[in-house]
Amino acid sequence: MAPIINLSMVQNQFQYIIIGAGCAGLQLAKALLEQSSDLVSSILLIDAEKAHQEKSWCFWHDNDHPYRHLVRNEWSHVEFVAESLKVSEDIHPQTYQYINSLDFHQYHLNLFEKDDRIKIVYQHVNEIIPNNKINKIITANDIYFGEYIFHTNLVNNLKSDSYPKVWQHFLGWEIEVDYPSFDINNATIMDFSLNDSKDIQFFYILPFSKTRALVECTFFSKQLIVEADYEILITKYLSAKLSCSFTIKAKEVGKIPMHIVDLPHWQSDTIIPIGTAAGCIKPSTGYSFSRIIQHTEEIINAVKLKKKIPLRRSKPRFLFYDKLFLHIIDYESFTMNNIFFYLFKNNKIITILKFLDEKTTLLEECIIFLGLPKMPFLKAILKSK
Ligand SMILES: Cc1cc2nc3c(=O)[nH]c(=O)nc-3n(C[C@H](O)[C@H](O)[C@H](O)COP(=O)(O)OP(=O)(O)OC[C@H]3O[C@@H](n4cnc5c(N)ncnc54)[C@H](O)[C@@H]3O)c2cc1C
């Protein structure tokens, strides 16, 4: 008797399933498709939403990365401003780079159209069921089977009770002015000069031209605020900084989790977190783009060598520093302005960026910490035990 073949199972079976066509899922799908068909035969990319919400993605990097051609703007200098301090430094050989997430999204969709190894579906994933032979995914409309499942930023992962938990939240206006007012070489990553609250609140400026810039009001805090409150602060900031009127061309609102990510309990060698779920968002800064590039490379190296796919891992001492920073943001936020002040007063910006990239030596880290206020860190160390 001929064997009974379940046709829907065969049609819905893939070598790789990627859940989440966001920053990490798209990077991974592209990198997998760059491999030969012997290594990568089929991919299913699933996302709950077809529409993509536009975001401004920035990161510091040299020219050597896979998305160099998508960089719309870049700045040679990075600036930090506080009430009595202003530092701006050339970060050569890196620049501070800006990619618009719509360009990024569309670029990947165009690439995928040309490769019949990948299928994209727009369905909400409800459940991932691990299985030694083949993993199963249940969506609102269908069931899919995958040898390897990669997943990111699913709502369930963010329900973690991991401690401490803080948000980076912000609202920005892209504005245009009549009179040349912005320095096109300088991206201001933090401007604390108008912070009169106890919260960690600063402004962020990306000048796209002498007359056009994105100006964001950013907080690191447990509590979110309503849009009108950010708008009051931006208006106050702009009236102090600009000597001319402005018009608002676009608006960006967002929140990014700043926490140490717990791996989900249903983790396995063939169900692998990427992006947000893998801890690619640096807990103390909210930046993720470069870390996602790195993790994607690590995954692809393992696929090529047919080795176990690695989870993204920070070195333990960098995780510890992140925990301390989060603890201080959570419990002693009023000291953070002072911490940032001394961080930028006592160190070159290029060293700070290297530290945030987790590429400094222990000696460099000791020098950084010796230049910071000690009490908040001592308290955080005692509490974290
Ligand atoms: C306005 C804004 C500005 C930002 N700016 C920067 C920046 O300058 N630099 C930087 O490094 N980072 C920035 N970030 C953070 C960055 O966007 C994220 O860290 C990054 O997108 C995380 O990538 P990801 O793939 O894990 O998640 P996402 O890019 O969020 O993608 C997750 C995808 O999964 C889908 N999904 C979720 N649940 C399900 C489900 N159950 N079933 C199916 N699909 C699902 C979602 O629809 C989404 O498309 C910004 C974020 C925002 C909101």
Q: What is the pLDDT of residues 134-148, one digit of tens each?
A: 999 999 889 999 999
Q: Ligand 1: which atom is nearest the Cα of residue 170?
A: 1
Question: Does the pLDDT value for residue 161 go beyond 70?
Answer: no
Question: Which of the four pLDDT bands, split at 50, 70 and 90, describes residue 166?
Answer: confident
pLDDT for res 4: 52
pLDDT in tens, 49-69: 999 999 999 999 999 999 999
pLDDT in tens, 304-317: 999 998 888 888 99
77 CA → ligand 1 middle, Å: 27
Return d(Cα 213, Cα 337) in angstroms, integer.
Answer: 25
pLDDT in tens, 339-357: 999 999 999 999 999 999 9
In CATH terms, the superfamily for domain 7-54+101-159+262-305 is: FAD/NAD(P)-binding domain (3.50.50.60)
Q: Ligand 1: which atom is nearest the Cα of residue 292?
A: 23
Is 276 a pocket residue for ligand 1 (Cβ < 6 Å)? yes
Is 254 a pocket residue for ligand 1 (Cβ < 6 Å)? yes
Of 286, 273, 272, 369, give the one whose Cα is nearest residue 326: 286
Is 27 a pocket residue for ligand 1 (Cβ < 6 Å)? no
Mean pLDDT within 258-262: 82
Q: Ligand 1: which atom is nearest the Cα of residue 290?
A: 11
Mean pLDDT within 267-290: 91
Residue of 26, 54, 57 with the most ligand 1 atoms within 8 Å of its CB, for mutation: 57
pLDDT in tens, 98-112: 999 999 999 999 999
Is 155 a pocket residue for ligand 1 (Cβ < 6 Å)? yes
Question: Does the pLDDT value for residue 372 go beyond 60?
Answer: yes
Q: CB within 8 A of 36, min separation 6: which ones?
A: none
Question: Does the pLDDT value for residue 237 go beyond 70?
Answer: yes
Top-confidence range, 12-16, 197-201, 331-335: 12-16
* Identity of the amino acid at 134: I
Locus of tokens 């995780």: 319
Write the CATH number of the domain with boundaries 166-258: 3.30.70
Annotated domain spans of the chain: 7-54+101-159+262-305, 166-258, 316-384
The full DSSP string for 112-137 is HHT-TTEEEEE--EEEEE--SS-EEE
Ligand 1: which residue has its CA nearest to atom 19? 288
104 CA → ligand 1 middle, Å: 12
Tell whether the torsion through CA atoms of 122, 265, 32 and 14 is positive or negative.
negative
Question: Which of the four pLDDT bands, split at 50, 70 and 90, describes residue 153?
Answer: low
Q: What is the pTM (predicted TM-score) of this model?
A: 0.93
Is 153 a pocket residue for ligand 1 (Cβ < 6 Å)? yes
Is 17 a pocket residue for ligand 1 (Cβ < 6 Å)? no
Question: Does the pLDDT value for residue 163 go beyond 70?
Answer: no
23 CA → ligand 1 middle, Å: 6
Mean pLDDT within 197-214: 93
Return d(Cα 360, Cα 356) in angstroms, integer.
Answer: 8
CA angle 77, 78, 84 (to 5 degrees): 120
Question: Which of the four pLDDT bands, split at 50, 70 and 90, describes residue 264?
Answer: low
pLDDT for res 164: 45
Ligand 1: which residue has its CA nearest to atom 36? 20
